[in-house]
């Protein structure tokens, strides 16, 4: 009997050891470290010829590479100084290593764009975000009809940022088409009010005004300013008799979340334009010709706090960006096949307007500021403003008057959303009409 008990005792111990050993072995397998996912550590792109010259149009070839520190699926695209972006691409890395990439850019017109200074870059989206250097990817192109030299001299900025006129040239388009178009800022919707001062000394909730800057590019005369104004303040009129009543925060106004202005459906534009750049207001009206000229509209909506110190640096930033604006709009007109004509909001970064004004978050509620400020990787400790632009060409205007983007023919929405710490979100509505 004792022998049988001893046998079962030994058998139980053996089974316990086996089960325990197996469990720990399985546990060790489960805890084994997985392969480390890779990240992009380098993105490089450079033109084969940084100063190409020859016969228009020219093709500039760019070559570079992407490097990872481990296995990864890399999603990227090419971006350009004129605001155009290419399709998304995917590279598979089985381990750490480097793979080549390349792209081209065809541009240049002997009359409209004989010179162009620009850049092309790689923009990484996944597994991490990164962008190659604009400086390394930069180039300076010169072309002409015979390939021996430019027909036009490169425009030179003056001391105040304005552009000297180009010498007169014959129209490059055989068509003598033209048309007069009007762009009206119909109104806005407060998707979410901005963060206001605790005492609301400027009025209940938001008080806003617009600061539209309108430029006009002509192939013969360069870039000129049509208007640069400040509109009246809209919001709570209490203690502010000069304000225009707007919003439902009180019986005297004040713009709050959900408020539309000047009507319940401002994109319908039934209210006739008023004086003084209120809402609605005509921002541009003039004659446009194919491949010859374009209106450049830089709208902005500002939250009023009674201190307009940022207005001057904002205007100075636009003036300083004039050479880039002129160059990129000239390229837009000269390369319709590469840059589609469309009346839509375009980010200011492609036109030299990435950070027009910056502000310390601690004083954001004591100064007038443009709605739509955010944080940039290059300066995360400060708030910066990048405006959006509307470029109106003849071809784009002709298309826009009949195109319905969900708000009726000719109407486009421009939306400004701020980070949570600022809270603001506004939608502006613009309408294109053909006058004759």
In the prediction, which pLDDT does 204 show? 87
User: Is 143's pLDDT higher than 50?
Assistant: yes
Read off the pLDDT of residues 17-29 as tens digits, 9 standing for 90 and up: 343 333 333 333 3
The Cβ-side half-sphere exposure at 427, using a 13 Å CA radius, reads 14
User: Is 83's pLDDT higher than 90?
Assistant: no
State how far the Cα of 96 lies from the Cα of 117, in Å rounded to an integer: 35
In the prediction, which pLDDT does 215 show? 97
Residue 378 — very low, low, confident or very high, per pLDDT cuts 50/70/90?
A: low
**Contact at 8 Å (CB) between 314 and 212?**
no
In the prediction, which pLDDT does 361 show? 67
Phi and psi angles of residue 8, each rounded to the nearest 5 degrees, phi first: -70, -30
State how far the Cα of 411 lies from the Cα of 345, in Å rounded to an integer: 12
b/e 116-131 (16+ beta carbons within 10 angstroms → b): bebbbbbbbeebeebe
**Contact at 8 Å (CB) between 363 and 305?**
no
**Helix, strand, or coil here: 180?**
strand
State how far the Cα of 320 lies from the Cα of 326, in Å rounded to an integer: 11
In the prediction, which pLDDT does 258 show? 97
Task: State the first-to-last Cα distance of the chain, in angstroms, to the nearest integer.
Answer: 115
User: Is 270's pLDDT higher than 80?
Assistant: no
In the prediction, which pLDDT does 6 show? 41
User: Is 123's pLDDT higher than 70?
Assistant: yes
* Residue 372: DSSP 8-state: T
User: Is 52's pLDDT higher than 70?
Assistant: yes
In the prediction, which pLDDT does 159 show? 39
Could you tell me the pTM of the whole model? Answer: 0.62
- Give the highest mean pLDDT range of 191-205, 265-279, 421-435: 421-435
Burial of 150 by CB count in 10 Å (0-12 exposed, 13-18 middle, 19+ buried)? middle
In the prediction, which pLDDT does 1 show? 43
How much is the average pLDDT of 326-346?
76
Residue 121 — very low, low, confident or very high, per pLDDT cuts 50/70/90?
A: very high
Phi and psi angles of residue 252, each rounded to the nearest 5 degrees, phi first: -115, 10
In the prediction, which pLDDT does 162 show? 39
**Contact at 8 Å (CB) between 128 and 93?**
no
Q: 102: closest CA among 142, 136, 66, 141?
A: 66
Portion of the chain with pLDDT greater than 70, in percent:
79
Query: Which structure tokens are listed for 130?
Result: 């990164």
Portion of the chain with pLDDT greater than 90, in percent:
54
In the prediction, which pLDDT does 340 show? 57
User: Is 176's pLDDT higher than 80?
Assistant: no
User: Is 300's pLDDT higher than 90?
Assistant: yes
Read off the pLDDT of residues 199-242 as tens digits, 9 standing for 90 and up: 455 678 999 999 999 999 998 889 999 988 899 999 999 989 99
Place of tokens 């446009």: 288
Q: 393: closest CA among 324, 323, 352, 346?
A: 346
- The DSSP annotation for 52-91 comes to -EEESSEEEEEEEEEEESSSEEEEEEEEETTS-B---EEE
* Residue 406: DSSP 8-state: S
How much is the average pLDDT of 417-426?
90
Place of tokens 């617009």: 210
What DSSP element (H or E) covers 215? strand 213-218
State how far the Cα of 225 lies from the Cα of 216, in Å rounded to an integer: 6
How much is the average pLDDT of 10-18?
41
Residue 296 — very low, low, confident or very high, per pLDDT cuts 50/70/90?
A: very high
User: Is 285's pLDDT higher than 90?
Assistant: yes
In the prediction, which pLDDT does 43 show? 93
In the prediction, which pLDDT does 200 show? 56
User: Is 291's pLDDT higher than 90?
Assistant: no
User: Is 423's pLDDT higher than 60?
Assistant: yes
Give the Cβ contact number of residue 247 at 10 Å. 26
b/e 59-85 (16+ beta carbons within 10 angstroms → b): ebebebbbbbbbbbebebebbbbbbbe
Of the candidate ranges 30-34, 318-322, 378-382, the one whose mean pLDDT is the lowest: 30-34
In the prediction, which pLDDT does 402 show? 92
């Amino acid at each position: 009997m004792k022998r049988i008990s001893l046998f079962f005792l030994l058998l139980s111990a053996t089974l316990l050891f086996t089960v325990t050993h197996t469990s720990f072995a399985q546990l060790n397998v489960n805890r084994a470290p997985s392969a480390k996912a890779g990240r992009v550590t380098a993105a490089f792109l450079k033109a084969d010829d940084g100063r190409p010259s020859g016969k228009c149009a020219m093709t500039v070839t760019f070559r570079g590479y992407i490097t990872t520190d481990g296995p990864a699926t890399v999603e990227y695209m090419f971006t350009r100084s004129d605001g155009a972006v290419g399709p998304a691409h995917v590279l598979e890395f089985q381990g750490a290593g480097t793979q080549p990439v390349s792209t081209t850019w065809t541009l240049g017109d002997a009359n409209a764009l004989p010179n162009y200074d620009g850049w092309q870059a790689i923009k990484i989206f996944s597994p991490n975000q990164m962008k190659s250097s604009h400086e390394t990817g930069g180039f300076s192109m010169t072309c002409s009809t015979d390939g021996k030299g430019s027909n036009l001299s490169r425009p030179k900025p003056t001391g105040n940022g304005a552009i000297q006129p180009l010498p007169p040239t014959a129209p490059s388009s055989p068509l003598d088409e033209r048309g007069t178009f009007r762009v009206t800022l119909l109104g806005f919707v407060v998707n979410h009010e901005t963060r206001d001062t605790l005492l609301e000394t400027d009025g209940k909730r938001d008080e806003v005004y617009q600061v539209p800057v309108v430029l006009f590019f002509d192939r013969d005369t360069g870039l000129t300013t049509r208007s640069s104004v400040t509109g009246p303040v809209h919001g709570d009129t209490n203690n502010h008799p000069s304000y225009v009543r707007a919003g439902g925060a009180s019986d005297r106004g004040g713009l709050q979340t959900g408020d539309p202005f000047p009507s319940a459906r401002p994109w319908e534009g039934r209210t006739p334009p008023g004086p003084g750049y209120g809402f609605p207001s005509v921002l541009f009206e003039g004659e446009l010709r194919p491949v010859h000229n374009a209106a450049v509209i830089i709208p902005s909506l500002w939250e009023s706090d009674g201190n307009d110190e940022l207005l001057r640096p904002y205007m100075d930033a636009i003036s300083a960006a004039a050479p880039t604006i002129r160059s990129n709009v000239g390229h837009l007109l000269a390369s319709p096949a590469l840059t589609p004509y469309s009346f839509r909001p375009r980010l200011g970064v492609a036109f030299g307007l990435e950070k027009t004004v910056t502000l310390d978050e601690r004083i954001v509620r004591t100064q007038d500021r443009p709605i739509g400020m955010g944080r940039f990787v290059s300066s995360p400790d400060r708030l910066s403003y990048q405006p959006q632009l509307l470029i109106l060409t003849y071809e784009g205007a002709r298309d826009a008057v009949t195109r319905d983007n969900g708000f009726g023919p000719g109407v486009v929405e421009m939306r400004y959303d701020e980070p949570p710490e600022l809270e603001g979100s506004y939608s502006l509505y613009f309408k294109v009409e053909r006058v004759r």
